[in-house]
Amino acid sequence: MWLLWGRDLPKVSDLDVINFSGQTRVFDRRGELIGTLSPSLASGTNVNRELLGPKQISSWLQKAVVASEDRRFYQHSGVDPIGVARGLLKGLLRNDLEGGSSITQQVVKNTLLRDLGGARTAERKFKEAVLAYQVDKRFNKDQILNAYLNVIYWGDGGAQDIIGAGAAARAYFKKEAWELNLAESVYLATIIPAPNRRYKDFEAYRPLMRSVLTRMVEDGQITKQQAEQAWITPIYPAGWRIGWNTDGTVRTAVLERPSRLAENLVSMMPPGQQYRSLYYLQEVERELAGKVDRGTLYGGAKIFTGMDLQAQRAAEQASRNAQVPEGATLGIALVNPQNGEALALVGQKLTGGRPNEWNNATQSRRQVGSSIKPLLYTLALEKGWKQSDTILDAPISGDYQPKNYSGTWTGVYVSMRYALNHSLNLPTVRMGQELGVPTFEAKLRDLGLTPPRDGGLSLTIGTLEASPLQLAAAYAPFANGGLYYAPSTVRRVESAQGEVLYQRPDPVGKRVWDKRVAWLGLDMIRGVVNDLSAYQGGLATKARIEGWQVGGKTGTTNDIKDLWFAGVTPLTSGAVWVGKQEGGAMPNWAYSGDIPTPVWQQATAGALAGREAATFVPPEGIVYRTYYRLNMAFRTEEADQAPVGHDGSKREAEPEAEPTPTPAPPPPAQTEQAAPTSPDTTLPWTVPSTPEPSPSEPDPTEPLPSEPVPSDPPPSEIPPTETLPGDLPTDPALPTDAFPTDVQPDDAAPAEPAPSDPAQPETNPWLPPELTLPPRQ
């Protein structure tokens, strides 16, 4: 057994954390106190971060738990031979390896052996015994018992589990742990083995209280008179209506409202929002694992982080205010584009009670949907494409048959800008065909993302999985001139004596986009937010922040399982995910422009509130031209080149039309600045805010000729089930021939265009050139 399992045992020294409870202080980037870092003692996956010391727990409860759970606790050396023998006998007779564990073994199981969970195996029992012996040699009994009382599971508290003596006292008796009397303490001790079952059958388990009191008398823990008094003392666990006889027997017992357990937990929550910054602190703890000794870390250290406390509070408020579908939760991550530091992390939809420990901001990996498209479009720009270049919006050949969200296609060439503004899948997949999936995968890896194996063309429209923190970091190069910084939280750790225990190396950015390419990508995602009004079908109008420049992109996955928004401002990059924790579809009315986008907007606006406004400034070599009444950024040498048509093949097609560009004055140029080294210096692309020249911005309130104008404001991204194939919006103000007439369902063959001169593309005087039908082949 030692050869099999004894060589990879956890270090008992890691349990040094049982001596400490919240002494380590954590500070944000400006030196403001965030909170204290408590060791995460846990029962399975359930974590108790509110650790109590021995003097904060009733001595009656300590004695009752020993009498009930491990009567020989003070005599054995971590393992009770009699208890083990009883457990083995039970295993032989009932095929059940559970039972016989000492208090020390249970501490080991719920801390050092958490990864093995509740597995009832010989391996776990062996490791428990060896480690329990080592723990008993290293710590005294009072320390071990105190750790047990902080880690033990005491039942289901609704939105949160009841972990530890503090939560148990509040849930069952609406008291603090030190206030429990002997009768209440004995009751809590008797329900530990199966709290949910025993709580619901008070009368059946009432005799166990007599047994525990008798043991306590026999062991000299209490006197006989104290036991008798405890037996006749009426107790009223939350939710129960109990009638008592004077001799301590139960006359009536009715469980009227089990929900009182959860209500008590919420109402007894300590003042000061105990769980504020929980998810950021959790990531700090994870990041420092293996870098700083746990005993030293929790012994009064000071941790300095990259958090912005204002941003964190804004993100938490946005989470509380978020309107999400029933059963859904969320994750929020904001990073500093300048160095990759996490400014704010929120891992769940906050409701006011103790939140779920799972951190969706950092731990979850969910398909990102259309929020991946700006990365592909920017790759195309890097390869020499222009925003004015066009792509065929028609079904592709082969086994993979994606569809646009509307379930329709136009059969015409649309510009890159139009395709991204409307989040069209078919032109996007054709773009991926021409650029090559391996090329795109390599770029995603440069951006800190992990493409799925054999993702194929589906990768171009969002089958990649990422966390909000990863996606926020991948968008940050749009805001900083093309540099990728790996996200981080911790800057420095000091001991209680001021000794530096850990110093993060200065962040070094990796060049992933040329500065001009990064600006062109930024210009496109700013178009997603600003080109269209909500009336025109703008996907991200709810991301706009007054006084600030914003760019971003929504994302929705199949069956509306995941909703995303990722976006940037001159000072922040962030991403929000909304979905069900366990996975599964959300209602058809849930749209990414309506649910995660306002959450991102509120969190980001709160983070920027009161800050000196900054604006994006283009690098040298960028000019603007107007195509299709949209002002677009171009590399200087390409600004006056005719748009090129693409159909997804490896060669470029002839342009189907040549719109006449209209020169427009670009925003003021600025000479290139050196990459910043100080975490708090100004971003290289930002200067104090000044109004941009009005010709640089299209009027978002005016219908653009390049887009159909719907008669009603449509949802941000329309699932196929919401629009019948072939339907196109119409407007009585436009002539009836203002839209393509060959729209067909995706599963139908494209209609053959009417005969025409092959040398001349078919045109419509009411359509801009980007919606001109392609030449007949």
Question: What is the value of pTM for the model shown?
Answer: 0.70
More confident residue, 13 or 740: 13
- At residue 758 the predicted structure's pLDDT band, cuts being 50, 70 and 90, is very low
Which CA distances in Å does 287 have to 50, 150, 345, 403? 21, 24, 14, 41
- Residue 595: pLDDT over 70: yes
Q: Which DSSP letter does residue 692 get?
A: P
Contact indicator for 360, 331 with CB cutoff of 8 Å: yes
Q: Which DSSP letter does residue 488 get?
A: B
More confident residue, 98 or 493: 493
Phi-psi domain of 223 (left: phi exceeds 0; alpha: psi -120 through 50; beta: other):
beta
Helices (H), 512-640: 515-530, 596-608
Write down the mean pLDDT value for the chain.
80
- Residue 601: pLDDT over 90: yes
What 3-state DSSP class applies to 332? strand
Contact indicator for 696, 624 with CB cutoff of 8 Å: yes
Mean pLDDT of the 71-85 span: 80
- At residue 701 the predicted structure's pLDDT band, cuts being 50, 70 and 90, is very low
Alpha-carbon distance of 343 to 575, in angstroms, equals 12
Position 284 scores a pLDDT of 93
Cα–Cα nearest to 278, from 360, 346, 363, 333? 346
- Residue 146: pLDDT over 60: yes
What pLDDT digit, counting tens, does each position of 238-251 carry? 999 999 999 999 99
Cβ atoms within 10 Å of 256's Cβ, excluding its own: 9
**Class of residue 735 by CB neighbours under 10 A (exposed 0-12, middle 13-18, buried 19+):** exposed
Alpha-carbon distance of 557 to 773, in angstroms, equals 30
Mean pLDDT of the 325-354 span: 93
Mean pLDDT of the 475-500 span: 94
Alpha-carbon distance of 389 to 385, in angstroms, equals 7
- Residue 579: pLDDT over 90: yes
More confident residue, 102 or 659: 102
- Residue 731: pLDDT over 50: no
Instruction: Among 160-169, 348-357, 565-574, 600-609, name the one with the lowest average pLDDT.
Output: 348-357
Position 278 scores a pLDDT of 87
Mean pLDDT of the 41-58 span: 70
Q: What is the largest CA-CA distance in the chain?
A: 109
Position 353 scores a pLDDT of 66
Helices (H), 392-534: 416-421, 425-435, 437-446, 468-475, 477-480, 515-530
- Residue 376: pLDDT over 60: yes
- Residue 726: pLDDT over 90: no
Position 88 scores a pLDDT of 58
- At residue 108 the predicted structure's pLDDT band, cuts being 50, 70 and 90, is confident
More confident residue, 173 or 455: 173
Contact indicator for 599, 330 with CB cutoff of 8 Å: yes
- Residue 43: pLDDT over 60: no
- At residue 116 the predicted structure's pLDDT band, cuts being 50, 70 and 90, is low
Q: Which helix (H) or strand (E) element contains residue 241?
A: strand 240-244
- Residue 142: pLDDT over 70: yes
Position 522 scores a pLDDT of 98
Q: CB-based contacts of 399: which residues, under 8 Å, 6+ apart?
A: none
Q: Which DSSP letter does residue 458 get?
A: G
Q: CB-based contacts of 410: which residues, under 8 Å, 6+ apart?
A: 393, 394, 740, 742, 743, 771
Mean pLDDT of the 507-517 span: 96
DSSP annotation string for 696-757: GS--TTSPPTTS---SSPPPSS--GGGS-TT-----TTS-TTSS-S--EETTSPPPPPPP--
More confident residue, 290 or 777: 290
| Beta bridge partners of residue 490, listed in sequence order | 305
Position 685 scores a pLDDT of 45
- Residue 500: pLDDT over 80: yes
Mean pLDDT of the 496-513 span: 92
Alpha-carbon distance of 742 to 750, in angstroms, equals 8
Mean pLDDT of the 37-42 span: 63
Position 697 scores a pLDDT of 33
More confident residue, 159 or 22: 159
Mean pLDDT of the 373-379 span: 98
Question: In whole angstroms, what separates CA 159 from the centre of its chain?
Answer: 19
Position 496 scores a pLDDT of 80
Position 86 scores a pLDDT of 66
Position 271 scores a pLDDT of 46
- At residue 630 the predicted structure's pLDDT band, cuts being 50, 70 and 90, is very high
What pLDDT digit, counting tens, does each position of 186-235 carry? 999 999 999 999 999 999 999 999 999 999 999 999 999 999 999 999 99
